[in-house]
Chain A
Amino acid sequence: MTPVIVVDQLSKRFGARLAVDRVSFDVRAGEVMGLLGPNGSGKTTILRILAGYLRPSSGTACVAGFDVVAEGLEARRYVGYVPEDVPLYTHMRVDEFLAFMGRLKGLTGRPLHDGMASVCERLALSRVRHMLIGKLSRGYRQRVAIAQALLNDPPLLILDEPTNGLDPRQIIEMRELIRALATTHTILVTSHILGEIEKVAHRVAILLDGRLLAVQALDGNETGRHLRLTIRGRPQETVQTCLRAVPGVGDVTMQGIARGEVAEYLVQVHTVSLAESLTAALVAHGFGVLEIRPERADLETVFLQLTRAEATV
């Protein structure tokens, strides 16, 4: 698939502080990509650079093939951006605001009218179209912010912490909305809540202190890079040595405590097809293989492993 976003060695410095440090990743067409990291990890800065609000200190970022700095105007036409704090003109009515933003995006006449009607229907804003934005609840304001981003039907949506400040019901609605939008749009979304990202994204880029730690797929195709084996055999150290000896095997850890001769092992492999080689090796050493299955990496585990590993470096 063609990448809609290509970020290459992107850095952003605010005075002495390096907010983003040589980050590179891409987002493919039709994909929902999550940027994940604790507060201050550089997520918003990266989104702001992609949306054209901030300029990178070094490196490049391209949206739909347009450099966000050199061809910023063209790049911004492809982006629907919803900033983190949902900044809106609170003195405007919803209709008035949408018309204003639509005209800025080049819509006039019938396309503007149709675009406004379409987003109001899609985001259930029809009831509040004539209300002042300042009088709306946080949930409705979030919808208005998303509505303005969708007005010109851009192929790429950039959502910065879209569930921030919402109540549990609104969070569920927002998640459903992102899922629905994902069928027709490429989406780059940030959150510091792992569970939220896990529920909507195909892949996540994990950031810490401005650096990209890893890009992790969540759709099960690439995440099955661990195998969970239940093995009968002693001593456990010998079992682990046997597993590690198979070419293509990385880290091997025993999970939980052994029940007699039986223990569970998590084996890092470069491909899940190594299951056959592992079974053969274990059987050759006289160990019993009770179960072997691909392990879908839990995002929380991956995040903690990566950030912990980073902290010990």
Chain B
Amino acid sequence: MTRDALGAEPRQLAFEPRHRHAIGLVLVAGIAVVLGATVWGIPRETAKLPAVAREAMTEALPDWHTLEPVNEVVYGTRGFDTFGETFLLLAAVVGIGLVARSKEPRRGFIGEERAGHEEQEKSDPAGAEGGEEDEARTAESEELDYRAEPETPDTQPLGLPAPERARGMSVVVRGSVRVIAPILAIAGFYLVSWGYSPGGGFPGGAVVLGVILMAYVSVGYKRIARIIRPGLIEPIEMAGALLIIAIEALGLVFKGSFSANFLPLSQPGTIPSGGIMQVFSGGEFIEVATGLTLAVFGLLGMSRDWVPDDDDDGESKGDAAHPAEDSTAHHSRLSARSQ
């Protein structure tokens, strides 16, 4: 038993059951020994560069007019690999979207069930009275206290008990993000545009995700919902995927080989140097920025898909003492409902 920081309620530390300790330890030790033994056969830091790396180094400047061999490998010689990886990322994003979406069509990521609730009250005020569903909804909204959410915590007195209800963060955070976000956004675009120096679509896209998340945590979802919504981001992501498919397939049309460069190569050290590499990198930038945004907001917007139980409170107290019994009771209730 332990007492949490506020000293309010004694709380049992979560017992963490484990699984076949000894067998796991033996298996892992065996694998570690085998892997450790192979380390002695692996090339060290004094070994010569492998042929494929030397080829990439020698090809980068004459064949692609780029000063960045890593980008040349990613979007040039091993472009087909990156092409496949792009669609693996897309498949994962579609998978997250599929698992995370609710049954109703949604326009935004977060708080849609609230919007729907208000709409339903307006259109069918009689239907909202009585019934088990209504009770559950009332209980839920009381529990979560949505209406009491202020825009910012600035007007609230200090020292209120957690959790904070405001949608955004304090004026200090909002002010800092206002300064940092544009700088970071420009850094992201710089990483992609100046493709002859280290950077490219992957890090650039990740930086843009960082800007979006900073805006989200500082002002709350409601203020960015006009831009960060599935209806806008999903088409942009598909456009990025189409751009990548087109730029790779056009090599087949013009040069007879998939992922071949068909664009004129300009001077090394200029933004358009590198031919299709730069376009591919731009497509990847769109793909990574929108894909990661969809994945993160899909996860953030996952709301619960059951009606809250009226005895949920009782469970949270009893759960620590008799976890097994309680969960059995729960499962029977859940299955009874689903039948």
Q: Say whether A and B bind each other.
A: no
